[in-house]
A and B are shown apart, each in its own frame.
Chain A
Amino acid sequence: MEQILANGIYLGAQYAMIALGLTLIFALMNVLNFAHGQMYVLGGFVTYTFYGQLGWPFILALLASCITLAVLGALIERFLFAPVIRRSSREESTMLLAAGLAFLFDAVILLVFGEKQRGVPKIVDGVFNWDFRLIMPYDRILICVLAILSIVTFILFMQYSKTGRALRALAQDRTAAQLMGVNVARYSMIGFALGAMLAGLVGGLLVTITGVNLGMGGPTSIKAFMMVMIGGAGVISGAIAGGIILGFMEAIGLAVLSQYGDITYLLIFVSLMIFLAIRPQGLMGKPWG
């Protein structure tokens, strides 16, 4: 039981971070970022290159991941999403762009890093063992703590900094924010960069445990969509709740249902559909996002 709870917290913390980036981008731009999983994989590969290949300290490599993805996100918003949103007659057109970007990232990752599974040396050795009731490697605990710290930092940033206030205003009402003197174009770019940066950060954190490979992008995007749906699209607290709920469901499902074969995800999907039939806007979302 303790083991399941610990696994749930560990999975939940990292899922929540992935969902946060996706929900931030959605709240600001009304863009469903299909390429989010690929951004996460890219972040993993950047950390792999700097930490695993070049031997930089882990924290610096993590920082490199964040900066790379933030710059990439800013450029993508400035030169791709903003013009398309301006020109297109239907805002769904951005989905094609996002899907195209997902393919593009896959292609770039394939060309630059290849299709092999990549891992890096452990950052901390040893295993925490509490009487065989709870077994957890130290590096997982460290990553989990780092993830929770980043989430707290992110929330504080959104709550108390000037940028965070502007971003929240933008998410609430674009026109009103503009009338109040928020530079909408600039803060959209910052928001997108921040969302991409979060994806890069999780990618960098998780490469130390699960490694990274090309095929992880798509499934990660789908999981992120599910978390956002559970919590409600475009709501930060919802993304965190969704991530933690999905993490716990997965941990419990894998422990309890393992003898019935691989039906955990089938059950999660089905219960999600029933849940959404009853509460279409998710736990904390506004109706119709």
Chain B
Amino acid sequence: MPKLSTIQWAGLAFFLLAIFVAVPGFIAASGRSDLYYTLTSVALLSIASAGVWLTFYIGRINIGQGAFALIGAYVSAILVTKAGMSFWLSLPLAGLFAAGVAVLIGLPILRLRGVYFAMISLVLTQVVTLTALALPITNGAKGITSIPLPGGVSILGLTLIPDFATLENPRLAFYYSACVLMVLTFAAMYRLVNSRLGHLCRSMQQNEELASSIGVNISYIRIIIFAISSFLGGIGGAMFGSIAQSVYPSSFQVADSVNFMLNCFLGGLGYVFGPMLGTLVLYFGWDLLFELGRFQLLAYSSLLIILMLFLPNGLLSLRLPGKKGDDK
């Protein structure tokens, strides 16, 4: 792993300070506690988008993250409501289940490339939505509602995570947990991209046959990467279900899958922190344009097209000096 330069450490410290101290302070001062929900959503969606970004990294256009987010949300909801499991235990299980499904599905479909993979992954979202409607355990179109808030976790009497139901402001707790998850995700992504596996992925992105011919086990790597990607999707979805306290087959749809992909494109496919920035800009952009009323969608899509015309390689391709993500 390459050493971080001083300016990168400073940027990291600044970023952590901003999301863990400055943002809650600002919200407390201005009284806009609704922002917590928005920012928590951004954090969780950026986790799922990070997964999509990772599949882009091996040269696959993934429009199926909504499927894995939905799977994660359902697994966690079922474990919590039917089996009475603690949410914090169900969260990794939801991710693992999504990863397992990804391995099973990925074995055949990862052989596809280019638009073929893009289209089949898009269809995957539909399959999961329809399955959720058809299966008895997911309760059909009625969905799973009134999921309890996450309980506490304590080891040897030491409270690590307080019971969310007893907190006076569970939104703040959700914000913190989402941010911690997001920071962990992107730290892991940064580590992965700069590891040996990351180099192998880059070789696959450029030319799979060539990578394979010099001894890269491409079928193994693409399954691993797809599983990690879906793990992130599952975790993001599970947390989302817990915040909304309900899951429906329509919680994650094709439009969400497309949005995950757009987040990556907008932030820039060449930058690890691209999905985070892309999610923030897209989500906030949509919210800010709410003032325009019925012209919201028109303005949003026009901006998207203009951005694409002038910055076709993503926002981070602007490359301001010392900006995070310059290093890949």
Contact = CB atoms under 8 A, between A and B. Distances in A.
Contact of B109 (A233, A261, A276): A276
Contacts of B109: 273, 276-277
Interface residues of B, number: 45
Interface of B: 56, 61, 105, 108-109, 111-116, 118-120, 122-124, 126-127, 130-131, 133-134, 254-255, 258, 261-262, 265-266, 269-270, 294-295, 297-298, 300-302, 304-305, 308-309, 312-313
A276 B254 contact: no
B294 A266 contact: no
A97 B115 contact: no
A107 B118 contact: no
Contacts of B312: 84, 87-89, 93
Nearest to B105: A273
A222 B126 contact: yes
Contacts of B261: 95-96, 99
B116 A289 contact: yes
Given A106-B297, A273-B109, A32 B305 contact: no
Contact of B295 (A99, A101, A111, A265): A111
Nearest to B269: A90
B68 to A, nearest CB: 15
A269 B61 contact: no
A288 interface: yes
Given A84-B309, A84-B312, A276-B116, A99 B127 contact: no
- The 3 A-B residue pairs with the shortest CB-CB distance in the complex, in nearest-first order: A277-B108, A103-B301, A88-B312
B295 A100 contact: no
A212 B75 CA distance: 38
Contact of B254 (A106, A222, A266, A289): A222
B262 A104 contact: no
B297 A272 contact: no
Interface in A68-92: 80, 83-84, 87-90, 92
A266 B119 contact: no
A9 interface: no
A222 B123 contact: yes
B134 A266 contact: yes
B254 A229 contact: no
Given A84-B308, A222-B254, A273-B109, A89 B134 contact: no
Given A97-B305, A97-B309, 11 more contacts: A80-B305, A99-B258, A99-B262, A101-B301, A103-B301, A108-B298, A265-B130, A274-B108, A276-B108, A276-B112, A288-B113
